[in-house]
A and B are shown apart, each in its own frame.
Chain A
Amino acid sequence: MSSPPPRLALRAVSRRRAGRMVLKPTTLHLAACEVLGLLGVNGAGKSTTLMLMAGVLAPSGGRVELNGADLGEVPERARRHIGYLPEHAPLWPELSVREQLDAHGHLRGLRGKALAAPREALLQRLDLAPLARRLCAQLSLGQRQRVGLACALLHQPDVLILDEPGTGLDPVQTENLRGLLRERAAAGAAIVLSTHLLAEVTALGTRAAILHQGELRHDAPLRAAHAVWRVTLGTRQTEPARAALTALAEAIEVEDAQHLRVQLRSDADAALLARTLVGANLALLGLEPAAPPLARVFMDIAAGRGERAA
């Protein structure tokens, strides 16, 4: 049986503007329940990439696929399957918050209860109910951001594309936003969020991609950065350590007589690894992440030293 197509796929997608390549050929896949954090310095091409994913821009080369179909050939699919929050959350200023949501619902083909129920639920969930009758022109940045997010979520899309969703939000709202996005991901949505904040990505993301100068330089599961540990033993016998760690490791690689590289199972962590070795009376001299943390990868790429995605 063939596996289902990714929710969203960029296949060698590039974008040229005014003779300049703003996004070099990029390949990315996003499956259901995945949260991809798209990172990059200013002008790296993040917003362009998101606009290509949302169908707002057409690629100069390659193709964007939504559930296996070329988005350029069936743009109306975007209506049903994609929720998009552009940068700065543009809104129609003459409309009230509730009217804004209604307008988005009508454009998506929602009517009656199919519109009213999710609209009211989102107004409550995003703490917008007290603002429902206020004109969008009078909203603060954070409030605009939440209205934009509600518009993107209104039709319960399979794919959520969010450009800087945390802009202007206070810590309580940020936590609320994270909770909401986790729920959507758990319900099967694939989420792409672009942000400058590494903490946002590590808190929410299952994968991180880093763009630099219009080129995808890093694309890896976030778990990998913390799931592989380098163990330095106090003895020159690795076999007892291997035996002790078998229950909590997916893979163990012996580097030399004193060092092991341990890939942990998803339910294990570094503390458990340390406790297991100490509990087995094995001398533990060092424990460090085998893969560099995301912040270091990001800084290296931003400085022009970093990796290149395959």
Chain B
Amino acid sequence: MSTLAVLRLELRRLLLRPWPWLLAAAVLAWLGWNELLAVGAFLKVQDRLALLPAAPGFTDIVAVPLLAQFAEIALLLVPLLSMQALAGERRAGTLSLLLAQGLSARSIVLGKYLAQLLWLLALLALVLLLPLLLAPATTLDWGKLAAATLGIALLLAGLLAVGVACSSYARQPPLAAALALALTLALWAGVAQGRAPQLAGPLLGWISLPTHLQPLLRGLVSTSDMAYFGILIALALSLATHRLGRERELG
């Protein structure tokens, strides 16, 4: 019940702030423009694709790369969104209002996390609309698109959990954003592992985000990738809950 009340409050505040809307508008404008370019390129190579026996389709050339671009944007977008979650409340003094209601740290963290996740998933749905609007004029690989969408949703959930955890430790939102961005980039650094496997060991490879995102973008859904994101989310939210639980002691 209290989680729901925090979620409701946070969602309302997100919808009333100009900042999330500006971020969403910028993301959609950028991806819309890139989709136009991708569709143009796709149309240009139609004659050559027709000669290939298993040629990549609209999903491989336009839809999934668009989602992959959104994933890269999310590396910056999510820290900018999540920085306000707890650090913003702390700076504005409104965290004491939540603590004085006797709300548990878990309720506060979960409520805020779920509200921001809903906002990110709504943005993902809008991004998804870009290729879906062209579905009547082309042939979509629905299975691959669903797997890629699941991958992006899990990535957003994971990055957001990391962002909320950083926000719980910081006193200033910009510091929370910087910390979250640094951690996110560190997790993303596995891209280098993909390109130069000799530089990174198997553990570094396993903890890197792209190791688990790339199969999903290719349409491969495995329990180990799902488990990875589950562990990342649970670990980050546990850290956030633990830190907020100590707020009453630390002050």
Contact = CB atoms under 8 A, between A and B. Distances in A.
Contacts of B218: none
Nearest to A106: B5
Given A95-B13, A107-B103, A58 B98 contact: no
Interface in A91-107: 91-95, 99, 103-104, 106-107
Contacts of A79: 101-103
A104 B98 CA distance: 9
B9 A55 contact: no
Given A51-B96, A54-B100, A106 B13 contact: no
Contacts of A93: 92
Contact of A107 (B6, B96, B104, B249): B6
B97 interface: yes
Interface string B81-121: 00000000000111011111111100000000000000000
Contacts of B97: 84, 86, 90, 104, 151
Interface in B1-22: 1-2, 5-6, 8-9, 12-13, 16-17
Interface stretch (A70-78, A210-218, A233-241): A70-78
B17 A55 contact: no
Contacts of B248: 55-58
A92 B94 contact: yes
Given A88-B93, A90-B96, A92-B94, A17 B251 contact: yes
B100 A84 contact: yes
B102 A77 contact: yes
Nearest to B98: A107
Contacts of A82: 100, 102
B101 A99 contact: no
Contacts, number: 79
A93 B102 CA distance: 22
Interface residues of B, number: 25
Nearest to B18: A94
A57 B16 CA distance: 30
A56 B98 CA distance: 9
Contact-residue bracket for chain A: 20 to 34
B16 A56 contact: no
Interface string A220-249: 000000000000000000000000000000
A108 interface: yes
Contacts of B93: 86, 88, 90
Interface of B: 1-2, 5-6, 8-9, 12-13, 16-17, 92-94, 96-104, 248-249, 251
28 contacts: A17-B251, A55-B102, A55-B248, A56-B96, A56-B100, A57-B251, A58-B248, A76-B102, A77-B102, A78-B102, A84-B97, A84-B100, A86-B100, A88-B93, A90-B92, A90-B96, A90-B97, A92-B13, A94-B12, A94-B13, A95-B13, A103-B8, A106-B5, A106-B9, A107-B2, A107-B5, A107-B9, A107-B103
Q: Closest 5 CB pairs between A and B?
A: A90-B93, A78-B102, A94-B16, A58-B248, A84-B100
